[in-house]
Amino acid sequence: MASTPEKPATLSWTPPTPRSRVGITLETYILDGMMGSPAATGTFTSVLNTLSLGAKLITAHVRRAGLANLLGLTGQTNIQGEQVAKLDEEANEILLTVFGSRHHCAAVATEEMEQIVAFPKHDKGKYLVVFDPLDGSSNIDCNASIGTIFGVLRKAGDQAATEGDFFQKGRDLVAAGYVLYGSSTMLVITTGKSGVHGFTYDPTVGEFLLSHENIRTPQKGNTYSINEGNASRWTDDVTRWNQWIKGEDKESGRPYGQRYIGTLVADAHRTLLKGGVFAYPADKKSPTGKLRLLYEANPFAFILEAAGGKASTGRERILDIQPTALHQRVPLVLGSYEDVDAYEQFMRGER
């Protein structure tokens, strides 16, 4: 009788059909260098992980704001002259604390504070971080989407950071992203050359998990996003564009649908994923526009261009603007390449 074959000492295991990378954590994605350079360096990885920690902590506050009576206003106003909601203050404190606890970040610039915050003993830090800790605070009390916007810049030399270190063109950002506190919390980030990636927060494990790898903005969309309430203040070229985009023309897919949430992070996120165009132009009330160059327009321009979209003032590429002041405002139009192009043609008087 044939002897029974020896049982193998170890069982061979074949993985289930290879899964996509969806579901891996943000930290794994960064550590495995899938974010592209300079993510591969340990210090840069530490900065991105600090951002992730800050986003998790802010999420916890945002999700319980309604219960923790954080919806009230502090009664103070910030550098922008805006009423500061408690969540603004909380989010700002959280980001200052997490970045102040890691020496890789030399200093931060935040919408909530007039001057930069240079962390003592961080002079040798290689990075600077700009952020709007809680964008869309006017939407907090009605539970509409709000967000956090951030950008990471390099810092040269070992001397203490100065305000001038932040006056870098947006094209010199080493990373940019945002956190959208919507029906779920999603962190979207790019280092510019290796795609734009979205990570959705799973509160049961306390991790951001890859959910949208390599987001690409459609070349052309079918929605436009602008505060029509400002129409009486627009310049003629914006008014002509606005009438054109609402006109009836089957061939070019007009009229476009109108969408406006009033939180840049939410309006820009929808435009990034679905295409179309978002605009906050200069007008008679805000002659240089309302949105801030360093920590609103630049990060989103960096993200849209990395996803194949476009971002400008209507006349000049946002990422080429030389900053001259920490809180300077710029007109902003961003979205699908073709839709921003059409807007720019109106600004140049070609239509």
Binding residues for ligand P6P, rule CB under 6 A, total 10
Nearer to ligand P6P, 119 or 280 (CB): 280
Contact between 235 and ligand P6P per CB under 6 A: no
Say if CB 172 and CB 127 are below 8 A apart: no
Neighbours of 286 (CB within 10 A): 15
Q: Distances from the Cα of 326 to the Cαs of 114, 131, 139, 330, in angstroms? A: 8, 11, 25, 12
Nearer to ligand P6P, 191 or 223 (CB): 223
Nearer to ligand P6P, 136 or 192 (CB): 136
Contact between 182 and ligand P6P per CB under 6 A: no
In the complex, the smallest distance separating the C-beta of residue 133 from ligand P6P, rounded to whole angstroms, is 12
Half-sphere exposure of 26 (CA within 13 A, CB side): 29
Q: State how far the Cα of 156 lies from the Cα of 4, in Å rounded to an integer.
A: 71
Contact between 323 and ligand P6P per CB under 6 A: no
Nearest to 110 by CA among 92, 137, 89, 127: 92
- Of the candidates 262, 308, 341, 345, which one interacts with ligand P6P according to CB under 6 A? 262
Q: Is 259 exposed, middle or buried (0-12, 13-18, 19+ CB in 10 A)?
A: middle
Contact between 238 and ligand P6P per CB under 6 A: no
Contact range with ligand P6P by CB under 6 A, out of 21-29, 91-99, 135-143, 170-178: 135-143
- Six-digit token string for 270: 């929808």
In the complex, the smallest distance separating the C-beta of residue 132 from ligand P6P, rounded to whole angstroms, is 8
Contact range with ligand P6P by CB under 6 A, out of 13-21, 244-252, 256-264, 321-329: 256-264
Nearest to 152 by CA among 188, 191, 201, 195: 191
In the complex, the smallest distance separating the C-beta of residue 82 from ligand P6P, rounded to whole angstroms, is 7
Taking CA 269 as the corner, what is the angle to CA 231 and CA 81, rounded to the nearest 5 degrees? 55
Contact between 138 and ligand P6P per CB under 6 A: yes
Contact between 136 and ligand P6P per CB under 6 A: yes
In the complex, the smallest distance separating the C-beta of residue 147 from ligand P6P, rounded to whole angstroms, is 8
In the complex, the smallest distance separating the C-beta of residue 227 from ligand P6P, rounded to whole angstroms, is 4
- Six-digit token string for 142: 């009605």
Using the 8-state DSSP alphabet, how is residue 25 labeled? Answer: B
In the complex, the smallest distance separating the C-beta of residue 164 from ligand P6P, rounded to whole angstroms, is 25
Residues ≥6 apart with Cβ < 8 Å to 277: 221, 223, 224, 225, 245, 256, 271, 333, 334, 335, 336, 339, 340, 342, 343
Nearer to ligand P6P, 255 or 262 (CB): 262
Amino acid at 21: R
- Of the candidates 43, 211, 222, 227, which one interacts with ligand P6P according to CB under 6 A? 227
Strand residue runs (E) in 169-317? 175-181, 185-190, 196-202, 207-212, 223-225, 257-258, 277-280, 291-292, 310-312
- Of the candidates 152, 238, 264, 333, which one interacts with ligand P6P according to CB under 6 A? 264
User: What is the contact surface with ligand P6P in residues (CB under 6 A)?
Assistant: 135-136, 138, 227, 262-264, 267, 280, 290
